[in-house]
Amino acid sequence: MKVMKFGGTSVGSVEGILSVKQIVDSASKPVVLVVSALSGITDQLYKLASLAAAGDETYLTEYKMMLRRHLDIIPQVIDDTMTQARTVDAVQSLFTDLSNILRGVFLIRDSSPKITNTIVSYGEALSSVIVCQAIPGAQHAESRDFIKTVNQFDKHVVDFEQTNRLINEQFHTLPPVTVCGGFIASDSSTNFITNLGRGGSDYTAAIIAAALKAEVLEIWTDVDGFMTADPKIISNTYVIEELSFSEAMELCNFGAKVIYPPTIFPVFHKKIPVVIKNTFNPEAKGTYISLEKPDGKSKAIKGISSINDTSLITIQGLGMVGVIGVNHRIFKVLAKNGISVFLVSQASSENSTSIGVRNADSQLAVQVLRAEFAQEIAQGEIDTIFSEDDLATVAIVGDNMKRTPGIAGKLFGTLGRNGINVIACAQGASETNISFVTDRSSLRKALNVIHDSFFLSDYQVLNLFIVGVGTVGGKLLDQIRKQQQKLMEENSLKVKVVGVASSRKMLFRREGIDLSTFSEELMSKGQDASPAAIAREIIDMNIFNSVFVDCTANEEVAHLYQRLLENNTSVVTANKIAASSEYSNYSKLKETARRKGVKFLFETNVGAGLPIINTINSLINSGDRIQKIQAVLSGTLNFIFNTLSGDIPLSKAIFMAKEAGYSEPDPREDLSGKDVIRKLVILAREAGYQVNQEDVARNLFIPESLFNGPLDQFWKEVPALDEEFELKRRRLTAEGKRWRFVATMEMGACSVGLEEVDHLHPFYDLQGSNNIILLTTARYNEFPMMIKGYGAGASVTAAGVFADVISIANIR
């Protein structure tokens, strides 16, 4: 035989009860059905008792609504008219009794605990009658006749000796289907109605299953089983198909609301498996809970649960060290006052003990503990007893954690990198559970990052905030859109854009922005943007695995990096301003990223998508030393000098570079060498040298006077240089040489300028807007390492930014 329990949502609607009928009809017999009150009815009954005790006549309105709800269900779940009539009579009789009790409470303006227990028992009494009559041939049993309790610390505790005997007498001969209400009990001595507390129907079912040695206990609810985490917080959770009893108990104790925590105990001791099933999706496999331990091949962590209603009480003082009985006194006084403790964290020196309780118990806990240790406080042996309220507790659960080294290290490392502060932590010797307390505001982020990091998610997630949606940013968003599905399928990486911003508008959406329509949404739904507003929104979202992507050339945006890194947001940037700014600022950004465990990446600052900076870092990290860098780093200048000919003078070549989009709108930015200087400074710094822009020697080919004044004046005056350059060009051609604007760093000494190279030089054949870099190192000394390719263009720059983003996920 088996016991089946159906919760309030399962019996709270016509659809639910009809589904219950079908499930029971297809089940092997005999079965015992334990049902909860219709969803919401228990709360409504408590409200009725409270209203009546307060002398509030509106309890009658609530009462009539409750009566109507029950009567309306009957004809829709029972076909036979005579059975309908019997059920209506039985339900109305129960409601008449309830009405009389409520009337008495209303008249005397008081409701004792005994009366309240009687009132709330009507929920299961009513539902069990309706469900029993809806299932042809089912017999009804009164739970209060065989579930017996005794009073301990003002709580009703099951009297198992008497209960087990009465259950076996009640169910000595089992009909095919028996229906009884859960939750309801009665006192062993007085027979007054009591109950098993919130969630007590699960407990009732487990008690019956254990007493009758059932084959299985099925808990039918409105979810498919235990989930890896709270689906209201994490979108990509999934059902855990198998759990051990210890794993299920830990998840229940720390907030998983699938079953009532005490349910586990009776069936655990009798080795009866528990199956969690969905009344509204009976084909789903559900979760199977048994004594079987994991085989070692399953994941170390099975699930994550949390309590967002935590207060941490700390007892602290040097007088506690080595004193026997302190903890006994702590827990004794808390138990005496009915305060449940779900977490204990104690310093190894014994000078402080922290305990986790519900926020509602915080004030009382501090009060009774201060009274218990009043003498020690007066003598200075205990310094203080205080509470920290409005916190959250998170627990990671899995039997296989015991067999897997490094779980705790990975957990706390992951939390630290995401800026999540751990206030207290605890782990039992069984290693089934590691729990920690953090700020309530960090709960969502903590759950997401743990779920993601321990592969409970199908995908690793990167949450991107992209600022600058023009040339490079627009290409990047398009590349992400085209590659998203492939990355998910082949690399289990979900790249989710949760924020986009232009110079005028910004749009943020935690669940992700549709990249096929982002431009229209940004304009129609976006808020007014500013660098400060963008940073504030990112920090307030407090989202896990967050990456700020800067596709602008804006100095104000670059100034946001420090603040974002401090808030554990990685930064990927095509913007050269920060990495080429004062060395102290560059160094601080790098140090902050290392300290916070996040990334500050700027590969595309030099050479667009070419792997220059990564290569330099790899050489240095492997013990090499960069001695010399020679590079052509300006695609614009390379285009200009490759374009010069007898037909195309210097002024026209500069104009062609502007029209082709190679140069800035004001080409003097490129002609001044500023861009090349910035790039060289960045490379020198990455090579290990402390260099600022003013340290770079400049050998320019344009007179200084042309860099002053308006742009129109420049275009008028620059043709004056054409004749001189043409004469030099002819000489170069005759000598078999070409011009290249070369950036050079040798042992920290930096310079930029126009150089002549012959046909034997690697720079001679550089085409179009390509870049080339020669790295002379301690290892690559006689034959320098050469990196060459496209050094400009929106697509390759966007691809380089995308590659930096992907590198944060550490996929191969």
Show which residues are catalytic: 679
Closest CA to 574 of 589, 552, 556, 598: 552
Other beta carbons less than 10 A from residue 442's beta carbon: 21
- The DSSP 8-state label assigned to residue 77 in this structure reads H
**How many helices (H) and strands (E) would you count in the chain?**
30, 31
- Between CA 30 and CA 616 the distance in angstroms is 74
- Between CA 642 and CA 766 the distance in angstroms is 8
Do residues 86 and 136 lie in contact, with contact meaning Cβ atoms separated by under 8 Å?
A: no
Name residue 697's amino acid: A
φ and ψ at 639, to 5 degrees? Answer: -60, -45
Alpha helices in 622-767 (DSSP H): 635-643, 650-659, 668-671, 674-686, 711-717, 722-735
Do residues 226 and 285 lie in contact, with contact meaning Cβ atoms separated by under 8 Å?
A: no
Closest CA to 394 of 319, 263, 303, 321: 303
Closest CA to 158 of 93, 227, 116, 211: 211
- Between CA 423 and CA 355 the distance in angstroms is 12
- Between CA 422 and CA 416 the distance in angstroms is 8
Locus of tokens 């919130």: 198
Give buried/exposed letters for 209-224 (b at 16+ CB in 10 A, else e).
bbbbebebbbbbbebb
What is the β-pairing status of strands 433-439 and 460-467?
A: unpaired
- Between CA 553 and CA 745 the distance in angstroms is 25
Do residues 214 and 174 lie in contact, with contact meaning Cβ atoms separated by under 8 Å?
A: no
- Secondary element (H or E) of residue 407: helix 407-417
**β-bridge partners, 150:** 157
**β-bridge partners, 550:** 467, 573
Do residues 787 and 647 lie in contact, with contact meaning Cβ atoms separated by under 8 Å?
A: no
DSSP one-letter string for 484-551 = HHHHHHHH-EEEEEEEEE-SSEEEE-TT---TTSHHHHHHHHPEE--HHHHHHHHHHHT-SSEEEEE-
- Between CA 274 and CA 210 the distance in angstroms is 11
Structure tokens at 507: 């749009």
